[in-house]
Each structure stands twice: as C-alpha cells, then as structure tokens.
Structure 1
Amino acid sequence: MKKTIAILLALVMTVSLLAGCSKGGGNDGEKTLTVALTAAPTHLDPHPQASTDSYRVVTQIYDRLVELDADMKLVPVLAESWEVKDETTTVFHLRKGVKFHDGNEMKAEDVKFSLERCIASPGVNYNYLIISEINIIDDYTVEFKTSEPCSVLLQRLTLDAASILSKAAVESTDDFDSHPVGCGPFKFVSWDTTSGEVVLEAFDDYWEGRPAIDKLVFKTIPESINRTVALETKEADIAYDLAATDFESVEKNPDLKLEKAASTTVWYLGMNTRDPILANKLVRKAIATAINVDDFITMVFNGNADPAHNTMLTPYLPGYVADAVKYDYSVENAKALLAQAGYADGLTLTLYVQDSQIFKDASVTIQEALRQVGITVNIKSMNASSFTSATVDGEHQLFFMSKTSIDPDSMLRSIYSEDSLGASGNRSFWTSAEVDAMLDEALATTDSAHANELYAKIQAIVADEVPIYPLAQEYINAGMQKNVEGFKLYPGKTHYIYGTSLAG
C-alpha cells in the first residue's frame, strides 16, 4: 500500500515534466537519451573533487589517454600506443587528428597541460603526485617520468581526473567548470545548476565516430522510487541505481529491462578522529561492534550487496584480505567497550549524510543500531555539495559515504594517507607514518607478491584502528527501456554512454 501511494505521488510530481516530451526522439527524428542520476552534478571540470554522479556526466565530455572497458581491461584511447622505456619512464604516442569540441586539434601540449593541472589540484592529485616530469617530445609524443617506479600508472591515467582538456579553452575563460571543453563523444550544451539537469549533444567530429545518440540529457531524481517511476512513465530511458525492492517490477514490465553487475564500490561509516569522542579507539570499536552488517545490507540494499569484511578492497582488486580484524556483532560487547571508554551512560553523536535515498536508509539503520547500545545519533542530511564541503572541513562526527577504485593503492591511499586528508578522501583524518611508508613501498615495487603482503599488513592495521568501518560491497544496476541497446555497466560506476543506441 505504501509503495502504491509513493508511486501515485511520484506520478503527480512528474506529470508536468512529461508534457510535450518525445521520449527516445525529438524534432526531425533526433535521438534523445535521458538518464536519471541519483544526485545533481557538482562539477563538470574533472579536477575538483566531485561526486560519482558528477563523473557520470564528466566522463562523456572528455577522453583520457587510456581507459578500462566494462571488463576492466586496459584499452588505448587518445594514446594509440605506449612504451615503457625504464621503470620510471613511459612514452605515449598520441592519435593524430583528434579534435576538441572547440575545433582545436589535441596535441602533446594539451596532455602536458591537463595532467600538470591535475597534479596541482588538491582534491584529486593524490593519485598523480608520483609523476615528476611530463615532457613533450613532439606534437604527438609525450614522456611521463615518475619519481619512483609506479606499478599502477596506466590505471591511474584511466580515471576521470586524468581527462585531457583543451588548453586553449581553459585559458580563455575564468569559468571552465560551466563551459567545459574536451574531446569526448559528447559536447556540452547547458547545465541548470538549480535542477541539476545537464544537456550534452553528439560531437560530429569525434575521433572514433559520431555517437548514435544525438542529444544526451541527465536529470537528477534523488528518490529511487521516482527513478523507477521515471522509467515506467518514459521520462527516463536509463535510470541508475534502482532500489532492489523495485527490481521485480522492472523485470516484469514488458517495456523495460534491468542490468546488474559487480562493482569495486565499498560503502562505509566514517568517524572523525579529530573529534574528542571519536579520537578514542574504544568508542570506534564499540560503534563497529554495534552494527549487524547482514541486517544493514538487508535494510539498506535489500540484500543486493556483499559484506565488506572490514576492508575497503574488494575481491576484484589485488591484495584483498577478508576480516583481517573482525568485529562480530554484539550489543553486550559494544556496551562494554563504551563503558571502558568512559561512556557507560551513553553519548550523543551527529551523523552527516547526503539527501538521496541510500543515505537516508543507511542513516536510520545506523541510528537504530547505535541506539541499542546507548548512542543517540542525530542525523544531518544535506545536498551533495554541502556534504562534501562539510566533511572536507571536518565539521562532522560520523559520516556515511562510498568509495570506488580500480586499484588497491588508490583505494587505500585515498582513505588512510596523510596525502589525502580532507578533499582527497581521508575524512576520518586518521593517519599513520607506518601505513604511509608501506603504501609508498607497495606502489614502487614491481614484485606483485610483495605488494600484496604490504596491502595485507595495511588492512590489518587500519581494521584494528577502525577510523572507518567498511560495511558493504555494492552491486551496480541500471533500469532502461527495452529499445536501449549497447549500454554496458562499468564496475567503476562512471558508465560510458558512447556505444549506446536507441532502436526504432
């Protein structure tokens, strides 16, 4: 009954948006693809730290030297080939004739400019600080040097932060974020920062061939039930991250289909160790012990996730170790830890979350779990931009968020390293010189077995310190109209639209 009411209300809310719309098409047969996001983009410039939904738009505008495909295999993109000269030198040979959206040809100067701009950007540069030099050999050849051997350089260059920008476009405006220019398959048209809607259009001169989609529209629909309704009413052609409770209705709808896949995303509860209460490791351990992870996954993901086993690495990444330190659920043990920490009579904490559905479900589930052991949790919900600012500045006590990564160093470094404090991902503000040294050693070694040994030690240390508590390894999904063809889910969550088409 509740779901029926929610659907009826959502229909009333969206009916005005449907008036005059021609789904999957437009004037003169224009092919328009509308994608429903969970949150409004915060940036279209790839260099400020941004949300997953921001990168889901960004990745359509820009290309990178190399990319990982839907099977997580490395493929050449703007670099048609590369060669490793020695353990600290890699030379990339660029494609000729690649055009930016402003008409300029992409050359080595743009590559050097883009990556040096990335390295100078505090929110994303932690993955690239090991790059010591970028040298232009000629217009179509560029040399990267690292200060030490880097076993994951190519993987790092697949991330959206390593997007190649038009140097001329960046230097010609004071507001590149609102006028982005890349050389990807879709070019920027408009961004309504009030509604979150972003409109892109096919780039006719795209080096790999013009997209089959003429216009690409991203709409922000935070409530998962409303994203499902948007599919049912044809307001959206694709909707990301549907609630598991809606899977059956989508799969039974003859006009819709559902795609699901494993991901490299981990959701976690973070604890600000600069806070006087949470600086006490016993309190952090009590919080971890108070949460029944299986119940959490049932309540928040409807079972559509796996336990994270107290590590930020997933089984798909090298170095994964399950339960290096375990926190078996126990109300009694959690209360005992709180008493040992000096809080036998309980305490009050504030939990910062974003205002989309998964955060709401998680926050009330965590709130109830901690209430059982004497911890009162006040929930502070806010939009993605405000959440990012608040947690970067350390205003929070508890926070809930996710991290997606395609290599173990990037995942662990962003969460635990001193280099990553604040904007780059370490919002628990916990650091360890020992962990930092091991991360650097693992990154520099060419011995994968030794690197995995170091990652195992790191996972044991951080699991014992528990500045964050990894809870769930997420599955990803997207619902879509039956006539959507060629779309593939990317395990890193920033799904590529290029290659997608609309039948009929």
Structure 2
Amino acid sequence: MSFVRQRTGRVLLSAALLAMAAPALAQDRNLTIGIGGSPTSLDPHFYNASPNISLTMHLFDRLTEQDAQARIQPALAESWRAVSATVWEFKLRPGVKWHDGRDFTADDVAFTIGRAPNVPNSPGGFGGFVRAITRVEVVDPLTIRFHTAAAHPLLPTELASIQIISRHVGEGAATEDYNAGRAAIGTGPYRLVSYRPGDRTEFARNDAYWKGAEPWSRVSYRFVANDAARTAGILAGDLDVIDQVPSTDIARLRRDNRLSIAEIQGLRLIYLMTDFSRTDTAPVLVSDNEGRPLARNPMLDSRVRRALSIAIDREALADRIMEGTAKPTGQWLPPGSFSYNPAVQTPRHDPEGARRLLAEAGFPQGFRLTLTTPNDRYPNDARTAQAVAQMWSRVGVRTAVDALPWTSYAARNSRQEFNARLAGWGSVTGEASYMLVNIFGTYNRERRTGASNNSRYSNAELDALTARAAGTLDDAEREKLLQEAVAMVDRETAMIPLFQLVNFWATRRGITYEPRMDERTVAMGARPAN
C-alpha cells in the first residue's frame, strides 16, 4: 500500500486580513447553550470525556479535526504526509496567533505532545492518542515530524483528539492554572471570560480567529443537569440550544414551531463494565445472598459476565427507557463504520440461559451486587441502570443501584471503587482501535495504553492483536484485524454492551445546529438561520 498524502486545507485569509475584516463580520449576537453533561476542568488534557472536550474546543484547536460526520479535516496543520514508514510530517498553518498575540509554532506542538499524556491525577487521559510517537522533531517553526517505532497510519486521525497548548503559557502550569483561567489561552474561536465549575462558562469571541470570526459575540455555556430544566429553559427562551434532549420530550418539541430538532446517529455506546482489578483480594460491592463477603470476585468468570449480558432485554431498554432514541447492539460501532463486525450480533435475551450459566459458575442461588451509575451524564443513565438491576434480580443476582453525580462518579471510578458500573464511550475516531487501546488495552502508563481502562481488564492476546492492527498500512487487512478484535471482546464478554445513542439537539427558532456524530456540543456548530 502506498503512503497516503492528505489533502491540504482550503485557502484562508491571513490573520491580518481577518483582523481588518472582523469589525464588518462582528455582530452583537449572544448564544446561550444548556448541556446535560458536566465538564470537570478547563485543562484540555485532564480528562478524555466528551463534556470536557466540548468545553475546551472553544478555546483550543488541534492539528487535525473531525467534522460533524467524523471525517478528518486540516486545522492547525494545513497538510500532512508520511515521509517514510515511521515518520509523519505536518506542515503548520502560518499566521496563527495565541489569544495573547504570540505566534503559534511547531515548538508549541512539541510541548503539547510531551504534556498531554502526563497530567497528574487525570481520571482518564490522552496517552492513547500519542502512544505511537517515540520522538518529536521540530524541523522549522512551521514544520514538525513525528517519529514512530513502527508504521502507524492512524496518527493523523488520533491527533484530532489532542488540543494544542502553548509552551510559553503551559510550561509549569498545572490543571488548577487552567481552571483559574491563567493558562486557558489558546488559538481557538473564543476567549475565556469566566469559569464556574458545575455551573457555567462564559466566552467572548476571538475576532482574530484564523478561520474567521464566529457569529456569536458572547457565548454562555451552562451545565443544566436536570432534563426537565433544559426543556423548560429552551421553551422559555432562556436557552438557545440544548443537547441530550430528553426522550420523553422529543415528540412535544418537534410539534412546537418555535423550536427545531437536529439529530444524527451517534458514536456513543452505553455499556456495563465489571471490576477486573481485584484478583487476589476480596471484591467490592458484591456479596452472597446473606450479605457475607465473597472470597473471589465472581465477575472474573466469563460465564458470570455472559449470564449478566443475556439476562438483559436490550429491545425493552431501547423502546421503553430510551423511547426509540437508542439502538440495541453487541459491539461499540454502528453498522457501516470501519471495522464494524457484522458477525457480532446483539445478545439475545435469555433469562433461563443466564440462570444456567450462573449455576455452572458456582452460583445456583445467585449473589448480591451493586450497580453504580452516573445520574447526570448520559440520557436516562440512572433509569437504564434501574431497569438492568431489575432484569438481573430476576435471574438471581439481587442488584441495588447507586446513582451518583458525574463528578463524584468519575473520580471514584478512576480509583477502581466500583464493581459493576454503567459507562459510555464515544469512538470519535470512527473505528474500533480507539476503544481497544483506551478501554480494553492493558493499563500501562509507559506504553500509554489503557488510559481510560478503569476496570483494569487485561488480555495479552487482545493487546497484541490491537498492536498488529495499528501497524498495518493496508486498510482492508487492518479492518479484518480490528473485526477479529471486536469478536474477541464479544467472546470474552469483556464488557456488556447495551445500546448506541442517537444524538439530539433542540434549538430556538432563528438558530440552526449541525448535529455531530461525536455528540459534542459547541457554539461553532450553531448558526443564525437568517
């Protein structure tokens, strides 16, 4: 397979021309957005979670970026090419300025690649995106090369998830400096005005933005956890755009001529994962039917995990809990995606089969379990967990639900304080390796795998297969290897997939929103309709 030379970006106005044009383009339009997921930091490398990324995308750019359909586009890099099997060269966009007026250069990119995987106390970092890079070479201020140990065709795609920060502000800066605003200086379309964790972030337009000034002079980006409150806010005109439109309200909002609904099949899987971290110690949040501790974690037995999986009626979850806004699945990508495996089917609801598997595993009478879930992160997350708990209880696994705010859930999850838990993962690269590396890859800080593997699942055979796929240049062969890995995860029941979300946004009349497969809610996707 020959190396693929990526297209160059469209010609843009220079920064000087943009600055001259800004007064003509700028209008005093404000935008208020209500989001359902809670961002936890302004540090763009602190937590690989969609609410955090959506928030910081207003401030920081990337070398490459993904459009609404998850296709790679030029951004801070105008073009890129593989100059050899193990060297990628990126040509950077000239004339880009940081919010403080300093020039953006290749040295900032080199600094970013060094920092991104090494942020202290990160509950789920970005090391997986730069794991292949062994050396960064600054050729000149607008040319940078990434050296890899082996061929790595996915690097331009993976770098679309790394937001670029400056060396002159970022050197020595901690996450607290970003949250305080001192280091929150990017090249992005908006500048930071204020950040109030758990409440709202205020942005002001960057009139000198290299793409051209955005239509909104001010953006108020608000966290509104309660579904009913988001709906009430847009109906009252207090909010202009909301995401995670409650499934119970979609039909009603569609009938309201003051509003519009935008939707797209998403890349987000909602799934269940169990604890693999305790192999020689007593498990947490599981006991026998009398409440006595178990000597060994039953979740380490694949028969128990498979029993829990087939005890779930996914069609009922999609129809009754999600009300048609989700599609049952047995894997983490929607049909038609690169590396989707058509041989991996949605597990059939089989309560009797679940009881047999539990008996085979030594639990004919079942056991007690706590299922932990966020209650303000994903659409109907706590309701879904409650429904799953009822289904598990019917086959003998008496399940209680512990529903937590996302900020608490995320911190405790990173410390392996849960056993069974409900989670979500959006495969923003549009192919299987993103989840294979970050969720199923063996946790290893040095190799930068398993950055979000909070359950500590480990399978050396799967790791090797993932690595082979990552280094395979031929697309067809790489897809076969990834499909094999998808099948292996299914055979092991390494996770319990539930459904894939359809993403919904509601906008006030006079505003359009371009729906994104990666579910990110950004002011850059909203436009005045007139």
**Which residue of the partner structure matches residue 49 of structure 1?**
47
**Which residue of the partner structure matches residue 441 of structure 1?**
468
Q: Does 1:493 align with 2:519?
A: yes
Shift of 1:323: 4.8
Q: Does 1:198 align with 2:187?
A: no
Structure 1 residues 29 and 434, CA gap change in structure 2 (3 angstroms)? closer
**Which residue of the partner structure matches residue 186 of structure 1?**
190
What's the Cα RMSD here?
2.0
| Aligned 1:149-298 pairs, distance under 5 A | 149-159=151-161, 162-171=162-171, 173-174=173-174, 175-178=176-179, 179=181, 180-193=184-197, 195-273=198-276, 274=278, 275=283, 276-298=297-319
The answer (yes or no) to whether the contact 2:442–2:450 under 8 Å persists in 1 is no
From 435, 451, 473, the equivalent of 1:424 is: 451
From 393, 405, 419, the equivalent of 1:397 is: 419
The answer (yes or no) to whether the contact 1:44–1:177 under 8 Å persists in 2 is yes
The answer (yes or no) to whether the contact 2:469–2:478 under 8 Å persists in 1 is yes
What's the secondary structure of 1:158's corresponding residue?
Answer: helix
Q: Does 1:317 align with 2:337?
A: yes
From 404, 408, 411, the equivalent of 2:435 is: 411
The answer (yes or no) to whether the contact 1:67–1:77 under 8 Å persists in 2 is yes
Aligned equivalents of 2:504, 2:444: Cα separation in 1: 29
Q: Counterpart amino acid of 1:502?
A: P
Structure 1 residues 269 and 322, CA gap change in structure 2 (3 angstroms)? farther
From 324, 332, 337, the equivalent of 2:352 is: 332
**Which residue of the partner structure matches residue 19 of structure 1?**
none
Q: Counterpart amino acid of 2:111?
A: F
Shift of 1:83: 2.4
Q: Counterpart amino acid of 1:342?
A: G
What's the secondary structure of 1:302's corresponding residue?
Answer: coil
The answer (yes or no) to whether the contact 1:32–1:214 under 8 Å persists in 2 is yes
Aligned equivalents of 2:336, 2:156: Cα separation in 1: 18
Shift of 1:30: 3.2
Query: Is the deviation greater in 177-186 or in 432-441?
Result: 177-186
Query: Is the deviation greater in 170-179 or in 104-113?
Result: 170-179
**Which residue of the partner structure matches residue 82 of structure 2?**
84
Q: Counterpart amino acid of 1:215?
A: R
The number of residues matched between the two structures is: 472
Aligned equivalents of 2:450, 2:100: Cα separation in 1: 31
From 341, 350, 361, the equivalent of 2:361 is: 341
Shift of 1:33: 0.8
The answer (yes or no) to whether the contact 2:96–2:104 under 8 Å persists in 1 is yes
Q: Counterpart amino acid of 1:156?
A: E
From 27, 32, 35, the equivalent of 1:34 is: 32
Aligned equivalents of 2:457, 2:343: Cα separation in 1: 20
Query: Is the deviation greater in 179-188 or in 70-79?
Result: 70-79
Shift of 1:497: 2.4
Aligned equivalents of 1:81, 1:331: Cα separation in 2: 54
Query: Is the deviation greater in 421-430 or in 329-338?
Result: 421-430
Aligned equivalents of 1:327, 1:207: Cα separation in 2: 48
From 500, 505, 509, the equivalent of 1:482 is: 509
Q: TM-score, normalised by structure 2?
A: 0.85
Larger helix proportion, structure 1 or 2?
1
Q: Counterpart amino acid of 2:369?
A: L
Shift of 1:325: 6.3
What's the secondary structure of 1:61's corresponding residue?
Answer: coil
Per-residue CA deviations over 1:135-182 (Å, capped at 9, x if unaligned) read 1111111111111111211110111xx111121111364433312111
The answer (yes or no) to whether the contact 2:48–2:126 under 8 Å persists in 1 is no
Aligned equivalents of 2:107, 2:301: Cα separation in 1: 50
Per-residue CA deviations over 1:45-101 (Å, capped at 9, x if unaligned) read 111124311211111111111111123322111111222211211111111111111
The answer (yes or no) to whether the contact 1:78–1:94 under 8 Å persists in 2 is yes
Per-residue CA deviations over 1:426-484 (Å, capped at 9, x if unaligned) read 23322111110110000001122221221222122211211211111111110010111
Q: Does 1:306 align with 2:327?
A: yes
Shift of 1:408: 1.8
What's the secondary structure of 2:453's corresponding residue?
Answer: coil
Aligned equivalents of 1:156, 1:71: Cα separation in 2: 16
The answer (yes or no) to whether the contact 1:102–1:169 under 8 Å persists in 2 is no
Aligned equivalents of 1:344, 1:358: Cα separation in 2: 32
The answer (yes or no) to whether the contact 2:437–2:450 under 8 Å persists in 1 is no
From 90, 115, 127, the equivalent of 1:117 is: 115
**Which residue of the partner structure matches residue 93 of structure 1?**
91
Shift of 1:403: 0.6
Query: Is the deviation greater in 268-277 or in 150-159?
Result: 268-277
Aligned equivalents of 2:517, 2:205: Cα separation in 1: 24
Aligned equivalents of 2:475, 2:527: Cα separation in 1: 40
Shift of 1:253: 0.8
The answer (yes or no) to whether the contact 2:432–2:486 under 8 Å persists in 1 is no
The answer (yes or no) to whether the contact 2:106–2:144 under 8 Å persists in 1 is yes
- Unaligned runs of 5+ residues in structure 1 are 1-27
Aligned equivalents of 2:314, 2:157: Cα separation in 1: 31
**Which residue of the partner structure matches residue 381 of structure 1?**
403
Aligned equivalents of 1:262, 1:438: Cα separation in 2: 28
The answer (yes or no) to whether the contact 1:42–1:50 under 8 Å persists in 2 is no
| Aligned 1:131-150 pairs, distance under 5 A | 131-150=133-152
- Unaligned runs of 5+ residues in structure 2 are 1-25, 284-296
**Which residue of the partner structure matches residue 13 of structure 2?**
none
Q: Does 1:363 align with 2:390?
A: no
The answer (yes or no) to whether the contact 1:445–1:451 under 8 Å persists in 2 is yes
What fraction of aligned residue pairs are identical, expressed as a percent? 24
**Which residue of the partner structure matches residue 466 of structure 1?**
493
